[in-house]
Chain A
């Protein structure tokens, strides 16, 4: 029981990390009907920026929001430079471009920061605290808290502000929004910026658990894909719920199913992706796809 609770808490912690990255994917999917394969690599690069800031003596709690700001600007710039020229191209083109972006960012990180894994400082103590007789690591609880705050902030931004309204309008009904004076193309850039910042949270949160190196997010992005697909790829709430479910499933399967063990946890994510796509392609919260013929 004791151990089970611990596994559940750490499953929820990794779930919160997956949820942040999945939310980033959903933001871009909603803006332009595209899964951004470079999301994980962008998050990894942002984490390296945070790392650089921190080892140059900046306080963690200043470096963290600063990095999110940098990631936001970088997201906007990437959209303007790389995605803008192919905005109206078929999906296949967009997918290949984001894959190119992923490779490019990964290589650039290797070039600038090297491939030596580094330990990332964490402001949270590793000691465990006692809740109702069960021990949970403080680190895990803090990760859940930070991700939760970010997710709520994004929710408020999207649902309760004018910017959020225009963002959603531009994504769902681009033509009428343009007629009403919304600069749709810039809204796409804004969406990329937001996604980049949210993704960066997942990178910074996961870095102390894994070690920071250019390929750090390669597995996390698969879990985030699984989370986004499970939640129905267009639903922000679905991404969060999906992330938590994937985190829990993977952690519990790794701990309690001997066949899965430590090294087939990724295969669980693959099974979730394929299973959901084949059985229920709209996921838990997605709307049924309607196609005009």
Chain B
């Protein structure tokens, strides 16, 4: 038994160790940063969850959605309404929000079957634009323009004590509790996605994406898998949306503008389509880019204050747009793809010059 474990550990590929290091890093992070910084990283994790869902849809099944902000809104409002009107425990509302959004996503997937990628992009884009005004309408339910306030969840006693004894400081704050809640959700959802992707459904989705007709002739249920991809993707968006509402403490129509759907797509593409690590990179990227870039510009004394203040509003859009174009032209597989090819080149070089140019296939060909 012991020997078996030892052997498995020794033969584990390096990426397993990388995952372990990453998980430990994220578990330990709140003990060294402030509570406010933890709340920022919470949003990174939430973005990563939603982008993972979007990646299953865009990267693996080859369908496109520009309306994931709308699905996030659905998840967030499901949670908020359940908590606010029906006094449901917030922990229970998170999976409910996921399931409700997943169901709606599954239903959206049915008309989406009839649409080509282009029309699907168009319809979901329109959905993203219309969402804020659709939310405002049933004002009795959604609180209209004001939205709904959600009181920040209090961490359970055992978590407070454990955190205090580890850091030998104050007990766990609600921001830090939200962080761990998001981290647990992210771990579970990433693990699920990883299992989904490398087994039969993942292979079927990729087959459909690359050659629909060939996939059908192999007996793959095209309609079933495509709608399933939509449903799963929406499930992730719903969970992410629910956590998002809890983390920022309120939901309102303007919490979910078109720009949010955009940000999610940028994160998916820049992180790397059809990759498990991509969404995490994408989450870090989409959250930190606007903050870091505007802080950088603000700190440069040679830039006039007037220009700096304009940059803080327009800068992220310009950078997002330019990056989206540049990444699509030069690195269609995103940062994850760059790292993967870099690593494989390095390996080939380490194995010796003889191996070079043997035409090794990349694990996943260019997806879009």
Contact = CB atoms under 8 A, between A and B. Distances in A.
A208 interface: no
Contacts of A93: 328, 332, 368
B122 A35 contact: yes
Interface in A56-73: none
B118 A100 contact: no
Interface stretch (A9-17, A44-52, A247-255, A265-273): A265-273
Contacts of A85: 329
A105 B127 CA distance: 22
Given A37-B125, A274-B123, A110 B310 contact: yes
Interface stretch (A143-151, A199-207, A217-225): A217-225
Nearest to A114: B310
A229 B133 contact: no
B17 interface: no
Interface range on chain B (Cβ under 8 Å from partner):
35 or more
Contact of B325 (A37, A100, A218): A100
A106 interface: yes
Given A85-B329, A99-B324, A273-B122, A219 B129 contact: yes
A15 B194 CA distance: 49
B117 A95 contact: yes
Interface in A123-179: none
A107 B315 contact: yes
Contacts, number: 144
Contact of A263 (B133, B269, B314, B320): B133
A149 to B, nearest CB: 29
Contacts of B314: 107-108, 110-111, 115
B133 A264 contact: yes
A90 interface: yes
Interface string B293-325: 000000000000000001101111111111111
Nearest to A223: B126
Contact of A293 (B130, B213, B269, B310): B213
Contact of A100 (B129, B136, B321, B332): B321
A219 to B, nearest CB: 7
Given A91-B117, A92-B62, A111-B311, A86 B329 contact: yes
Nearest to A226: B126
A103 B321 contact: yes
A82 interface: yes
B64 interface: yes
Contacts of A8: none
Kindly name the residue among A89, A229, A263, A277 whose own CB sees the greatest number of chain B CB atoms within 10 A: A277
Contacts of B125: 37, 222, 225
Contact of B123 (A37, A91, A277): A277
Interface in B48-94: 58, 62, 64, 66
Given A104-B318, A106-B317, A222-B126, A96 B328 contact: yes
A26 interface: no
A92 B316 contact: no
A281 B265 contact: no
A260 to B, nearest CB: 10
A180 interface: no
A35 B118 contact: yes
A226 to B, nearest CB: 8
A231 to B, nearest CB: 14
A270 B317 contact: no
Contacts of B335: none
A234 to B, nearest CB: 12
Contact of A107 (B111, B117, B318): B318
B321 A101 contact: yes
Kindly name the residue among A95, A114, A222, A229 whose own CB sees the greatest number of chain B CB atoms within 10 A: A95
Given A106-B321, A277-B123, A293-B213, 13 more contacts: A86-B329, A89-B328, A91-B118, A92-B58, A92-B62, A97-B324, A100-B321, A108-B318, A218-B129, A263-B136, A267-B133, A270-B123, A270-B129
In the A-B complex, the 3 residue pairs with the closest CB atoms: A104-B321, A107-B317, A100-B324
Interface of A: 33-35, 37, 82, 85-86, 89-93, 95-97, 99-108, 110-111, 114-115, 218-219, 222, 225-226, 229, 263-264, 266-267, 269-270, 273-274, 277-278, 281, 293
23 contacts: A37-B121, A37-B125, A82-B325, A85-B329, A90-B117, A92-B64, A95-B117, A96-B368, A97-B324, A100-B328, A103-B320, A104-B325, A106-B321, A107-B316, A110-B314, A111-B314, A115-B314, A222-B126, A222-B129, A229-B122, A263-B136, A281-B115, A293-B213
